[in-house]
Structure 1
């Protein structure tokens, strides 16, 4: 069949070059390419460079690569093009998108940097107020980046209660960046540190100082306020990589909320490592700082828990845990004994065989070995009871070192 007139070349033949295609078709082709390839394409020829100034191409790249579905008519008022949004905002700051952990001593934190309309916003995620562990996460903005009329990206600090103010972001290296507030006076309150502390306490804990009667808890809260407030939103962040998941996982790995007594609710990352599961703190406290392992779970022998009614019986739960502890202890002893036998066999094989001169030495050796074995059994660690009486604070209990998922 004869080619369509729009598809035919100057003399009715198929086009031999992209330059022979209609401009609207080139716009569709170029718009389907990654935005990082378009600058190289613009250097090919004047025609390509002129076509790549079409805002439709860059609007599509903003939508497909960064999910910008905002009504871009707002840009026409400020004179900012979609190409500017892509090149000077989205592409320039693409390396800070995702999950991050701030370096705030033992306390850590969870920051999520996302594209939100025509802004890039850093949201600090906070656990719900203790003890409401099932409530959704809370979040507040720490900084935002956007384009002003002068067509360059503007970084604004959102910390405090006086609105956005001048800030700065520096990408230090791969998987690390830092923020700095250039107007820390915006963080101060008219009532001084006393008002700042009460406001922070209400936001962080959802209560007032008068509501907290436990003296130890008051000390922990005050220590955290003094430590964290000194940073004034001038922080270094390190990227968080979520653990991979597998269909065989007992539960999907990722981020979880957990209660930590006087320290309130904290965020923990669960990951699987063969026959072990580990919980690593994303937010922490002076006892177990952020970034440290808070729990290790042995998946080799699952616990068979009783029915729901008996779950309330601490004696029954204690008995089950002690049985598993004893089983683990026996398995560890058997493994150590097997390893010792293998080591002795290898050592005997490497030495030349010699006949003993008398039987006394052999008997003495057997007696010594028996004595050593008895000493080893005597030194075996005794099982610690897993009992949680009513009214006893959990942090004072001596829990078993090995836990199991069922």
Structure 2
């Protein structure tokens, strides 16, 4: 603001001229003698004459102001009355809405309702900017994935749901939970979208930067005319894609609990906590991110795959009554490659179990001896025409393994051992790499949790699997292909802190 003031001829520069006028004759003569320099030298030192911003035409000022961040414009309006008048030009705020928040709608039609682009920026976009991004709702052990985005002239909270079990390759499903829009100049309107009777009055409270809550003010809109039974059947069709009779024996107790928790939470205040997408590094085995995975009778759940040096971790974004959301479901040791037997021997579960348990025993012995992990093993897939190419010394274990695998030019045949159950039989029949890992299992209500050995199977950039040795089951994971904005962690430390926070909520 001080720079603008000097350019406009106000502030300290004007004060200097006033001080010169108050000088006496002697002081003025002394000052003139000190300033008696060569005119040519004075012109060179002074440089070209400065032009005041106030002398620029309004059209040019509008263009200049429109290129500045919207958060700086209120300060600019305090410089002078002319700037304040120019900053009421809607062209400036229309550009800020587009460049900062991606609003591509024709904002000129707002003039019909008497709402200006400046109102949209200040009372909607800027006011609710802290809730844009990814969030995890606090719904008992089930968690979830909420994506808050600017959608046209609305801010909408979309709840992302996995595909219907067991089709992990299908796109995510989503439905709106709330929306915010500006229908009048006074303030933005919050509407609850939950239920089957259309939008109704709601409320949003920003608790702190990484936490906010929603509340429905008309919960009667959540009720259906046919009562709880109709609500329950409708919910089953929408969430599970099947009728009550199809899944009665397999899921009945869990479904009743889930529906009760969901309904009671949405009828009351629901809290959301921010989550970030995992940061990516050049030495990662594959690109980290969100994946959809099968969890036995629990259906499909959302897992976040992240890399931490020589370890990879899968953190549950959605959970179930056994393992709640926020818990680390699988952990992969990227320095312990597993060489699978040939296809015929791989069908024998005992043979695979023997290989995995040998690695677990080695891990146990090293932990008892207080030693670090063993050095990386030979690659599981070797080049049939020669030794594997050497990876860069600067690359991590994941990058080294991936490079060794790529040099072989072909994948390794993969089949599930006899006796291993899988809800999805449409899994790839070749894999790139396999690693030793552990998976978290527990009883109902997260009782007696323990980590058990298993095999992490990397199929390609977008699919991996985990074979649970003790459960004799196989989970297939497929990448969530949706693009999320405002979801990157500001730093690796912030991401790690986020993981600790969501895990502590269910510990």
- TM tier, shorter chain? 0.7 to 0.9
**In the aligned structure 2, how far is the partner of 1:334 from the partner of 1:314?**
30
Going from structure 1 to structure 2, the CA distance change for 1:252 and 1:308 (only over 3 Å counts) comes to farther
Going from structure 1 to structure 2, the CA distance change for 1:74 and 1:32 (only over 3 Å counts) comes to same
Q: TM-score scaled by structure 2?
A: 0.64
Equivalent in the alignment of 2:300: 265
Equivalent in the alignment of 1:248: 283
Stretches of structure 2 lacking an aligned partner (at least 5 in a row): 1-47, 373-415, 424-438, 443-449, 459-507
2:211/2:273 contact within 8 Å kept: yes
Find the residue that maps to 1:104 and give its secondary structure. Answer: coil
Q: Which moved more, 1:311-320 or 1:201-210?
A: 311-320
Equivalent in the alignment of 2:324: 289
**In the aligned structure 2, how far is the partner of 1:391 from the partner of 1:248?**
33
Aligned length: 345
Q: CA deviation at 1:197?
A: 0.5
Residues 1:64 and 2:99 aligned together? yes
Equivalent in the alignment of 1:223: 257
Equivalent in the alignment of 2:227: 192
Going from structure 1 to structure 2, the CA distance change for 1:33 and 1:307 (only over 3 Å counts) comes to farther
Q: CA deviation at 1:134?
A: 0.8
Equivalent in the alignment of 1:389: 419
Equivalent in the alignment of 2:88: 53
Find the residue that maps to 1:232 and give its secondary structure. Answer: helix
Equivalent in the alignment of 1:33: 68
Equivalent in the alignment of 1:21: 56
Q: 2:116 aligns with which of 69, 74, 81?
A: 81
Q: What do the CA deviations read for 1:206-250 (whole angstroms, capped 9, x no partner)? A: 1111011534x2111111111211122530000002221101000
Higher strand share: 2
Q: What do the CA deviations read for 1:252-295 (whole angstroms, capped 9, x no partner)? A: 11211111111111111112222221111111111111111111
Q: What do the CA deviations read for 1:336-381 (whole angstroms, capped 9, x no partner)? A: 69xxxxxxxxxxxxxxxxxxxxxxxxxxxxxxxxxxxxxxxxxxxx
Stretches of structure 1 lacking an aligned partner (at least 5 in a row): 1-12, 338-385
Q: What do the CA deviations read for 1:157-195 (whole angstroms, capped 9, x no partner)? A: 000011100000000112000000000000100111000
1:298/1:405 contact within 8 Å kept: no
Find the residue that maps to 2:291 and give its secondary structure. Answer: strand
2:233/2:243 contact within 8 Å kept: yes
Q: CA deviation at 1:326?
A: 3.8
Equivalent in the alignment of 1:301: 336
Equivalent in the alignment of 2:198: 163
Map 1:315-330 to 2 at 5 A: 315-330=350-365
Q: Pick 1 or 2: higher relative contact order, CA cutoff 8 A, min separation 6.
A: 2
1:102/1:237 contact within 8 Å kept: yes
Going from structure 1 to structure 2, the CA distance change for 1:73 and 1:212 (only over 3 Å counts) comes to same
Q: TM-score scaled by structure 1?
A: 0.79
2:280/2:287 contact within 8 Å kept: yes
Q: What do the CA deviations read for 1:120-139 (whole angstroms, capped 9, x no partner)? A: 00000000111111111000
Going from structure 1 to structure 2, the CA distance change for 1:202 and 1:57 (only over 3 Å counts) comes to same
Find the residue that maps to 1:114 and give its secondary structure. Answer: strand
1:299/1:405 contact within 8 Å kept: no
Q: Which moved more, 1:318-327 or 1:237-246?
A: 318-327
